[in-house]
Structures are given as C-alpha cells and as structure tokens.
C-alpha cells in the first residue's frame, strides 16, 4: 500500500479541523495525526501564568517523536500517538494506536516548520482565515473545552499567540501547495482540494 501524507496548517482557529472533517467525509479511510498531541508537558502552567510557557513556538512540540510516528506510518507500520491533556497541560499516560492508511492527514500549527516533516508531505495545505474570526473561535473553544478564563485567553493571544502566528505560522504559507481561504466552509476551494487529492492518489 502506498501511503500519501497531507499536511494542513494555519493559525489557531483558522478552521483546520473543518478541512480535516470534509476530507474524511470524502475519504473515510483517511487517518488523522493531530500535532497538538505532540506538545511537551508544561504542568506548571495555569490560568494565572498562561504566558509563562510559549505553546506557539516550535520548541513546544516533540518534533522528533512526530517525525518517528510519520515515518512508521509511511512505511506501513502502526504508531503510538500520544494524547495531550489541555486542561492540565501534560501528556497523558495513555496513547492511541494509529494504523497506516493510504491517506494520512497531519494537522497543526507547526506542520510546515520542521524541514524533515515538511519533506514527508505529499500535499501541503494552508488554511487562511482573518485574525478576528480566528480569535473569536479560539476564545470560544478554550473557555468551553479547556477550562480557561476569558482574561487568560486574551492575555495569551496578545502576548504569545499573535506574535507566534506572525513569526512562525504565517511565513510557512510560502510552502503550501494550496491555500484555502475560510477553511472547510469554502465549498469551491474544497472541490479543488478533492481534485488535488484524487490526482495524487492516482500517481
């Protein structure tokens, strides 16, 4: 079985997950690797010192483990994907066994940053969404799903997330094969993407 890897990146709240959902609806056998699960533990972080650790910097991720897992999948082997607890900012003891498939999707903030990982990607997608929309989505998600206060989300966005976006994520747009404005809600762009994927699978 030939394995193709699709990398999806974009700012926090850009709509990467919606693009993933649309791809999986069209290609149900596709499997997902979420870069968020490869964050390094930072158990000292809480709502009061949220900016003491920069989650929007490449060094926050265990890139070596991510690379190893992608190589296993590319070689047709299973891998053990870690699971991250975003409430306590630590890697959980359990993991998820991911089986190889003809389509592997990896999504995350820094998917294009590491050249070793970037070179493994058969198709690179950048989800481009206005910053105000991204912030609103992030605010709702972090308060509802990650136990955060509104104040801590605003502080982190201003001091860490926004600078990280313009320093590391926005420049990676240059590596994209396809830029998707507004993410998975852009039906025309998604149809172009499906055409790309179809052609890629025939290679």
pLDDT value of position 47: 63
pLDDT value of position 56: 85
How far is 191 from 10, CA to CA, in rounded Å?
A: 19
pLDDT value of position 78: 97
Buried/exposed 193-202: b ≥16 CB within 10 Å, e otherwise: beeebeeeee
Q: What pTM did the predictor assign?
A: 0.88
pLDDT value of position 51: 62
Q: In what order do the strands lie in the sheet with 123-128?
A: 31-34, 103-107, 4-10, 123-128, 178-181
How far is 8 from 17, CA to CA, in rounded Å?
A: 9
pLDDT value of position 182: 82
Residue 142: half-sphere exposure toward Cβ, Cα within 13 Å: 24
Domain 4-202 architecture:
3-Layer(aba) Sandwich (3.40)
Q: Integer distance in angstroms from the first to the last C-alpha of the chain?
A: 13
Q: Which residues does the chain have with pLDDT short of 50?
A: none
How far is 30 from 21, CA to CA, in rounded Å?
A: 10
How far is 109 from 117, CA to CA, in rounded Å?
A: 13
How far is 8 from 27, CA to CA, in rounded Å?
A: 16
Strands in 122-164 per DSSP E = 123-128
> Which CA distances in Å does 78 have to 4, 32, 72, 102?
15, 13, 6, 13
Domain map (residue ranges) of the chain: 4-202
Question: 117-139 pLDDT, tens per residue?
Answer: 999 999 999 999 998 998 999 89
pLDDT value of position 203: 65
pLDDT value of position 54: 82
> Strand 103-107 to strand 4-10: parallel, antiparallel, or no bridges (unpaired)?
parallel
> Which CA distances in Å does 4 have to 34, 51, 101, 112, 158?
16, 37, 8, 16, 37
CB 27 within 8 A of CB 4: no
Taking the CA atoms of the chain, what radius of gyration do you get in angstroms? 17
């Amino acid at each position: 079985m030939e394995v193709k890897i699709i990398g999806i990146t974009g700012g926090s709240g850009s709509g990467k997950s919606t693009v993933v959902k649309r791809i999986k609806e069209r290609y149900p056998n596709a499997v997902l690797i979420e870069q968020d699960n490869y964050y390094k533990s930072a158990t000292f972080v809480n709502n009061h010192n949220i900016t003491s650790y920069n989650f929007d910097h490449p060094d926050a991720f265990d890139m070596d483990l991510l690379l190893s897992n992608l190589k296993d999948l590319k070689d047709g082997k299973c891998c053990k994907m870690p699971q991250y607890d975003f409430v306590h900012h630590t890697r959980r003891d359990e993991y998820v066994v991911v089986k190889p498939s003809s389509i592997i999707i990896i999504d995350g903030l820094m998917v294009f940053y590491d050249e070793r990982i970037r070179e493994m990607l058969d198709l690179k997608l950048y989800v481009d969404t206005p910053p105000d929309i991204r912030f609103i989505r992030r605010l709702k998600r972090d308060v509802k799903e990650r136990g955060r206060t509104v104040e801590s989300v605003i502080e982190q966005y201003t001091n860490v997330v926004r600078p990280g976006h313009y320093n590391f994520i926005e420049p990676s747009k240059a590596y994209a094969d396809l830029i998707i404005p507004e993410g998975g809600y852009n039906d025309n762009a998604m149809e172009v993407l499906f055409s790309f994927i179809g052609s890629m699978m025939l290679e």
